[in-house]
Structure 1
Amino acid sequence: MNFFERQEASRRMSRWLVVLFAAAVLSVVAAVNFVVCFAISLGQENMTGEAPAMGEWMSANPGTMMITTLVVLGIIGLASLYKTVVLGGGGGVVAKSLGGVRVSPDTTDPQQRRLLNVVEEMAIASGVPMPEVYLLEHEEGINAFAAGHNPANAAIGVTRGTLTTLNRTELQGVIAHEFSHILNGDMRLNIRLMGLLFGLLAIAMIGRIVLRFGSGGRDSKKAFPVVLVALAVLIIGYIGLFFGRLIQAAVSRSRESLADASAVQFTRDPTGLRGALLKIGALSGGSRIGNPEVEEVAHMLFAPGMGRFFATHPSLEDRLKAIDPTFTSKDFDRARAELINAAEQAKAQATPKQTSAERLESLINVPGAAAVAGLVANPGTVHMQLARDIRQSLPEAIVAAGAHPNSARALLLALALDTNTESRERQGQFIATQIEPQTAASVGQLLDAVDGLEPEQRMPALLRAIPALRQLSRDERLKLMSTLNGMLQREGRVSLQAYVLRKLAQVHLNDDLNPVARTRQLPLSAVQKDIQVLFSVLAQHGHTDVAVARRAYEAGVHHLLPRERPSFVNLAHWAQPLDLALSRLDQLAPIMKEQLVEALVKTVTHDQKLTLGEAELLRAVCATVHCPLPPLVTPGIDG
């Protein structure tokens, strides 16, 4: 199953979630109506000595049933809305609710430094922004989670036990598992699930409160009706809780199995994930999390955080057998013995040191269109090793600038500047008037470092700064987006590479500012004009010969629109039309995006050459429509 199929599966699962939630709500409403009917009929029997049949009473009192139904729906709806609004702050809200503390980019703790490096390498290899990283300092079990609405406001949390118990390979397996949730669309599903289930859990909470206070009366005869109602509400609350846990389990188990498979596919090394799962089974604490809020996030965790009747994860044995068919339960004993004996078998699996120049070639073998589309959100071992090289090759000035909010803002603006000197001066003046002169000065100080970046370093430099940018206030981020738009509108001629980085920054900033925004899915027939603009711009970029550009355009567009397709246009002022085109193409269904990526490859590689600059441009364009590609490397490079 590739990225686009996984995205479509997530959408189907989301629709099923709504159906299951509606069924749970209807069950609770029906149960409450039954209790109300029973209680009132019982009261009438005490007063008159004769109780009407429930069916007759309900048909004779539709208003009471309607009020009861509206009250229950109101409680569930308001509780779900409240939780959804609270979770609108992104994955960091979930991490903090479990006692997580954000890991500082400046940390000197070796274990935290290793964690940040692994997360950053995975982000570079995946082509998505680096998520915020949180540490659950007081949790000794081995566990982790990814939370958020989209990659731009995602957070990854790990327990202290994960850092102290796992080696780097095992940690990488766990982080790869969590990144698969980020890439597969599971996070939005999980956040939505938390919001909906809180509405059902609210009934159980009310049931407990009513029972606690309703059973305190001294007069047992007078208190009996109150206790009866309290007990009934509690039972109904647990009906909601039952359905909530059932939904959690049904949604989580299938996505966890998929995440395990994706993690192995990402790293091409099953030993890391296998080792982490073995250590969970070998330790007495396993993956347990002590925080009382763990129930709400049980479906998000890497491994079960608590014992429960409806399991949110496949059993450790089943997960291990899926990774390693030779697994037996004796492997837990061997792992336990190794941990008890503290036989530190830290085998440095470091590969020979290679420079970025040795690994990143200036000319890449032309890949097949389907092969590139298959790489979307599917980085492999070679990409992970390449990501480590890229991370280590970033200049210190760029690394330092991306670690803090104000300097990260200056770095983003520096990356978005045009290469033309006169345009830069105008853009710098615009930045000074829109934000502040000090920011414009900081941008100027970073220009030498930014201009010295290789093509393969520019996207990682931008994406690793996203967590720091999230620390800016909402008004500051809105002002930053407005400044980026203004920079685009002030220039007639724009470098395509600078434009795409600017657009990519806007996409991720907007994802963070509007994490729960819903977009409709457009068919290909509705975006023909947008396809014409995007492919015309790509075709004319790098081809001074109009005839050659037209052939490159036809090579890609024919793949999307084989019968009736718009003709090639030579656009002099393409930036604003392209901005609108990319925004609309982002609304294609996942399966249509797969065809879009394949068509883009056909246009870019029409001349049977793919330079590193063209490859990075292709990656940036794909990222703007939420199809993150790993770095494209020569297939012959030994990972």
Structure 2
Amino acid sequence: MNFFEYQDRAKRNTGLLVGLFTLAVLLLIGITTLLAAALVAYSQGLDFSPAQIGQLLGWDTVVTIALSIAAVIGLGSLYKLRQLAAGGRAVAESLGGRKINIAPHGDAEKRALNVVEEMAIASGTPVPDVYLIEDDAINAFAAGYKPSDAVIGLTRGCIEKLNRDELAGVVAHEFSHIFNGDMRLNIRIVGLLHGILIIGMLGYWLLRGSHFSSSRDNRGRTALFGIGAGLMVIGYTGTFFGNLIKSAVSRQREFLADASAVQYTRNNRGIAGALKKIGGYSAGSELASSNAAEFSHMYFASGLKKSFANLFATHPPLAERIARLDPQWNGHFPNVDKEPLGFSVTEQQNAQVMGIAPVASASSSASLQQVIDAVDNSICSPSDQQVAYGRQLLQAVPEAVKQAAHDPFAARALVYHLMMHGDQQHRKQQHQLLQKIAHPAVMRELQRLGPQLRDLAAGTRLVLLDLCVPALKALAPQQYQVFKRNLIKLLRSDGVVELWEWALYRVLMHALEGSPDRQRLSPKGGAEKDAARFILAAVAHAGNPDYLSAKRAYETGLNAMQLNITPLPTSADITLPRLDKAVAIAALMPPLKKPVLLKAIATTMVHDGIVAAEEIELLRAVADSLDCPMPPIAPTTATTAAAGTTAVTERT
């Protein structure tokens, strides 16, 4: 099962989950209606029979009760989801997490950040925010709605008690939750459970009201007490069954994440070792945070003490998980309390890449088959070669530049540099423009880093952008708006924006903002096919300077998607706003249709069977915008000329 099949299954699982919770809500409405009818019968001194509900309450009252219960649950769920609207950051901060991307403290935090960065670069995703939870337990979590707002949370025990391989296994496990579409489902579960819990809380308030009531009507006070007690029972009964659903869903996904982690790291000993250490550690994986139970289904291992008969266990037993990963395991847990820290400084430095060719130059290329294999098998599941190549790309970035990517001022300077292009005269004009509009501290960083940035390998551009994302997310809203305006002015400084410039800009905006304009897209019929045609036309013009060769490339892409041949739009028609809209529409395609589009784009790019380096960068940018992160593709040769860069007319 590949990434697209996982995404398709995640959508179906979301529908199943909503269906189960809807059934739970209907049962709660039925129980509440029975309770109300029983109380009415009691207050009137009548015998109660379920068949008399309509006579006792009246059907208008029954409908009112149903709507009221549904409204309470709906409003409670919406309130909680609103609290978690910030995505993974809201979850991490509610658990007391501290973001470490910008200023990691000590070698253990630096190593943890480096492991997360390596996994992100190898899988083609922006580097997520990394939060440290000051807890001695060994645990971790991934939270968010999608990769662009995902965070990785790691406990103090996790980063200090595990060695590098074990930590990499844990991080890979959490990345698999990001890739498999589990995060959005996890947050929705939190919201739905909170809505059901609200009924129990409402009953508790009514009980308190009946206790302090000064009413002389004992029968009325008794009725109020009965309603409150009944709502408490109903609410907490609903929460009981909701937690059963949550636990059952979560346990199966943990097995999948373990298997995916082994697939990413190609090392079953790492994640198995982490689980063994949890079993042999006095602090285990139980979190001390008061909010730990609310997010119990998101953790790497159980964050709570064992519940009655393990009914609410959100994770399979440790022994069962370990046995699947390491069939030769003897059942022994190491005594972690007596062992030295798993972290060591020399271990962090032992991350050399062996047998990998130098980082791709601007003229490197890949075969069409390589690209198609990457689309089918490597999206969110990089191969050994791609993991090694991604690590080498990260190592090719000078240490001073990597440190600068973690600083909000210097990160802006790095992005400005990546967007500057053209001959020496044009770059000088762009530099003068930045001196007028950019912050002086940013310009000082650009001046300081200039010599090292000029020698940066072309293949590291997307890597550097991904490294800068957490620091740019830390900008204050006003700082970010100024940065974005400056970036657009820089791109428009020569009156045209080349497609590769758009690709870099789109990757950055998708990581920082997601797709904020999707709600304004037209749902008209055929919009997806029109969007695909427009993207193929832009790619065809980018790689072919003359109209006839672009037309042939365009028609090849249409045939790959089994679309009817239509006239090729002119290069003047390929404007950035239209291209942005086309990509946003394509992002709404069903998961199983997206690989067809990506392979059609690769087919359109082909020149004598070779896809050039800048075209690979463009393909990865489009894939990223479709929420299908593609890992870097190791080049085959350096003999093919770089792709042409057809300019895109800038129109507002």
User: One fold, TM greater than 0.5?
Assistant: yes
Q: Structure 2 counterpart of 1:27, which letter?
A: L
Larger deviation, residues 583-592 vs 171-180? 583-592
Give yes or no for contact 1:354–1:389 (8 Å, CA) kept in 2.
no
Aligned to 2:122: 125
1:417–1:27 Cα change, 3 Å: farther
Aligned-partner SS, 1:627: coil
Kindly state the Cα deviation for residue 3 of structure 1 after the two structures are TM-superposed.
0.8
1:62–1:344 Cα change, 3 Å: closer
Aligned-partner SS, 1:291: coil
Question: Matches of 2:453 and 2:575 in 1, distance apart?
Answer: 22
Residue 458 of structure 2, aligned match among 433, 438, 455 = 455
Aligned to 1:312: 314
Larger deviation, residues 410-419 vs 453-462? 410-419
Kindly state the Cα deviation for residue 94 of structure 1 after the two structures are TM-superposed.
0.6
Q: How does 1:44-63 map to 2 (within 5 A)?
A: 44-45=44-45, 50-51=46-47, 53-59=49-55, 60-63=57-60
Give yes or no for contact 2:602–2:611 (8 Å, CA) kept in 1.
no
Question: Matches of 2:127 and 2:548 in 1, distance apart?
Answer: 41
Residue 159 of structure 1, aligned match among 148, 155, 158 = 155
Aligned to 1:202: 198
Deviations 1:95-135 (A, max 9, x none): 11112122253324111011000001111111111111111
Identity, % of aligned positions: 35
Question: Matches of 1:486 and 1:365 in 2, distance apart?
Answer: 33
In the alignment, is residue 380 of structure 1 matched against residue 378 of structure 2?
A: no
Aligned to 1:19: 19
Kindly state the Cα deviation for residue 313 of structure 1 after the two structures are TM-superposed.
2.0
Aligned to 2:417: 414
1:410–1:27 Cα change, 3 Å: farther
In the alignment, is residue 275 of structure 1 matched against residue 276 of structure 2?
A: no
Kindly state the Cα deviation for residue 235 of structure 1 after the two structures are TM-superposed.
1.0
Aligned-partner SS, 1:156: strand
Question: Matches of 1:585 and 1:487 in 2, distance apart?
Answer: 28
Kindly state the Cα deviation for residue 241 of structure 1 after the two structures are TM-superposed.
0.6
RMSD across aligned positions (CA): 3.4
Question: Matches of 2:211 and 2:631 in 1, distance apart?
Answer: 61
In the alignment, is residue 69 of structure 1 matched against residue 66 of structure 2?
A: yes
Q: Structure 2 counterpart of 1:415, which letter?
A: L
Residue 249 of structure 1, aligned match among 247, 250, 257 = 247
In the alignment, is residue 101 of structure 1 matched against residue 98 of structure 2?
A: yes
Larger deviation, residues 523-532 vs 586-595? 523-532
Q: How does 1:490-509 map to 2 (within 5 A)?
A: 491-509=494-512
Kindly state the Cα deviation for residue 69 of structure 1 after the two structures are TM-superposed.
2.8
Question: Matches of 1:126 and 1:522 in 2, distance apart?
Answer: 32
Question: Matches of 2:222 and 2:356 in 1, distance apart?
Answer: 77
1:26–1:345 Cα change, 3 Å: closer
Q: Structure 2 counterpart of 1:315, which letter?
A: P
Question: Matches of 1:345 and 1:107 in 2, distance apart?
Answer: 15
Question: Matches of 2:590 and 2:446 in 1, distance apart?
Answer: 38
1:589–1:418 Cα change, 3 Å: farther
In the alignment, is residue 3 of structure 1 matched against residue 3 of structure 2?
A: yes
Kindly state the Cα deviation for residue 220 of structure 1 after the two structures are TM-superposed.
13
TM-score of the pair, normalised by structure 2: 0.86
Question: Matches of 1:521 and 1:120 in 2, distance apart?
Answer: 37
1:396–1:9 Cα change, 3 Å: same
Q: State the number of aligned residues.
A: 624
Question: Matches of 1:220 and 1:164 in 2, distance apart?
Answer: 63
TM-score of the pair, normalised by structure 1: 0.87
Aligned to 2:107: 110
In the alignment, is residue 136 of structure 1 matched against residue 137 of structure 2?
A: no
Aligned to 1:178: 174
Kindly state the Cα deviation for residue 569 of structure 1 after the two structures are TM-superposed.
4.4
Unpaired segments ≥5 residues, structure 1:
none
1:398–1:343 Cα change, 3 Å: closer
Unpaired segments ≥5 residues, structure 2:
638-652
Aligned to 2:645: none
Deviations 1:448-476 (A, max 9, x none): 55443222211111112111222223344
Question: Matches of 1:548 and 1:259 in 2, distance apart?
Answer: 45
Give yes or no for contact 2:561–2:600 (8 Å, CA) kept in 1.
yes
Question: Matches of 1:13 and 1:150 in 2, distance apart?
Answer: 16
Deviations 1:543-575 (A, max 9, x none): 44555444433333311125x122444514634
Question: Matches of 1:543 and 1:88 in 2, distance apart?
Answer: 43
Aligned to 2:188: 192
Deviations 1:507-542 (A, max 9, x none): 22222878xx76989899433443333223323334
Larger deviation, residues 315-324 vs 157-166? 315-324
Give yes or no for contact 1:429–1:440 (8 Å, CA) kept in 2.
no
Aligned-partner SS, 1:115: helix
